[in-house]
Amino acid sequence: MKKLIFCLVVACLLAGQALALELWLEPVGTYATGVFDDKGAQILDYHAASKRLFITNGADDTIDVVSIEQVDEPQLLFQIPLDGAPLSVGVHPTQELIAVAIEGDPETDPGTVEFYTLDGELLGSVVVGPLPDMLIWTRDGRKVLVANEGEPTNTEYEPEEGEEFVDPEGSVSIITLGSGTPLQQKVENATVVEVGFEGFNDKKQELLDKGVRIYGPGATVAQDLEPEYITLGAGNRFAYVSLQENNAIAKIDVLKAKIVDIFAIGYKNHSVEGNGLDASNKDDAINIKNWPVWGMYQPDAIDSFTVDDQLYLIIANEGDSRDFEEKRVGKLDLSDVFGSPEEIDDLQENENLGRLKITKAFPSTKDDEGNYTSLYSYGGRSFSILDADGNLVFDSGDEFEQITAELLPDYFNSTDDETDFDDRSDDKGPEPEHVVVGKIYGHTIAFVGLERIGGIMAYDVSNPANPVFLDYVNNRYFEEDPESPEAGDLGTEGLLFISARRSPNGCPLVVVAHEISGSTTVFQINVEPPLEDDED
């Protein structure tokens, strides 16, 4: 009995069938800037007709335009010079137009979105909110939505001597292209509406009661909420915005330019079987187990998909903190809810829970004597699927750490700029950074990038309540000097799915930008349906 390996196009006769699917990722080509640990490649998008990638290069303050006509030999065509640091880039869905988000100088000042032709001609720009961290086109190409993170001058919330402390308000900018036929005219007539959170300033307690983290010292709600990433629901009517530090998601009515809801994501119980974590970087071992700790999901990237006309949100639970709030468990006074004094002493040993970083701000709880009764750590070390109301449908538990422990035991929880076994266990582990969803063989496939140890996880999420793990690939060579080209890809940042229909070689692809190595790698998605030939 023979099996045939297909690219997606070969399988067109089976489109829409819910077959069991074998899938694996294969690195086929890399574009390398040669820039190490200086934001040489972060966020990217793709124009199918010209077979070009557009990649933010924060080291050169450019957009690198790279041809992947030959996927095994990506070639730099030219760079588009910018007047500031690029944070995001998006290609218009039908027109030969790109939008680039550029941070202000200083970054607490308003940012800009600049519009360029595919050949790098500047057509115009608009002003948006501070730190425009991500942008996305609506599917009809009429609007660009921008997540303006609005981070404070420093996250200690204590200005240095002579420093002015500034905490801008987070917001989402909705840019609407103007009328007219030439692209120049559309850009020149563009309008901007800032969707802010000022209307929630008098609802702080209501948000806190829901579990939304509003905790910056002296900050209003509008200052404290920090939009990170945006996805759009079907029909472009509603946008969903991850508020990472706040462990929440905002829902925006795009047509009315209005925030209609902010829902808290909740907490992950690491004491439940399947939700373990490795909590120590000082035990010289892989030790994934249950602990009396809650995890704050705190997603970075967010995407969406539909199954049976139901919208689902999918989030990469990276975790993030502000400097003033971090504390290690070993430095805390713990309540007797954690056991006897002897049990608490053992729990706080460095090889147990003592090294784990938790928040001493919201939602930490203490008894009347000031002893901690609950512990909340950063990030879920997982991906999650939510329904459109923010209710948890699925979480991958401790699978990321279990899988990397099995496949890369010598480099478990290594960081991204050096090879150091177990280095990140006390601090968010593998750090899921980005997630994108694509359709393959009628299946909905999610690809999740891990920032620290690196690599991509692939899951079939066609059944949102019961995803199936498919593959993990890591194009990193741990034995090599991280600063050398031989080290491969380090610091997974931006992911991009390209369907077979739009792909240069007729196979679906995932393209990944890596912040530390400054490299962008094309991964071909190979599939093997369980088809059986006639035995003769």
Of the candidates 114, 104, 29, the one whose C-alpha atom is nearest the C-alpha of residue 74 is 29
3-state secondary structure of 14: helix
Least confident of 90-94, 233-237, 269-273, 384-388: 233-237
> What is the CA 18 to chain-centroid distance, rounded?
28
pLDDT above 70 (res 48): yes
**Mean pLDDT, the chain, integer:** 94
What Rg value do the Cα atoms of the chain yield, rounded? Answer: 23
pLDDT at 234: 87
Q: What pLDDT does residue 17 have?
A: 42
**Banded model confidence at residue 529, pLDDT cuts 50, 70, 90:** low
Residue-wise pLDDT tens digits, 453-467: 999 999 999 999 999
Mind listing the domains of the chain with CATH numbers?
8-320+379-528 (2.130.10.10)
Over residues 377-399, mean pLDDT:
98
- Quote the pTM value: 0.95
Residue 4, pLDDT above cutoff 80: no
Mean pLDDT over residues 146-167, rounded?
91
* CA–CA dist 455, 476 (Å, integer): 8
Q: Which residues contact 436 (CB under 8 A, 6 or more apart)?
A: 301, 303, 446, 447, 495, 496, 497, 510
Burial class (CB in 10 A: 0-12, 13-18, 19+), 445: buried
- On the question of pLDDT at 67 being above 70, the answer is yes
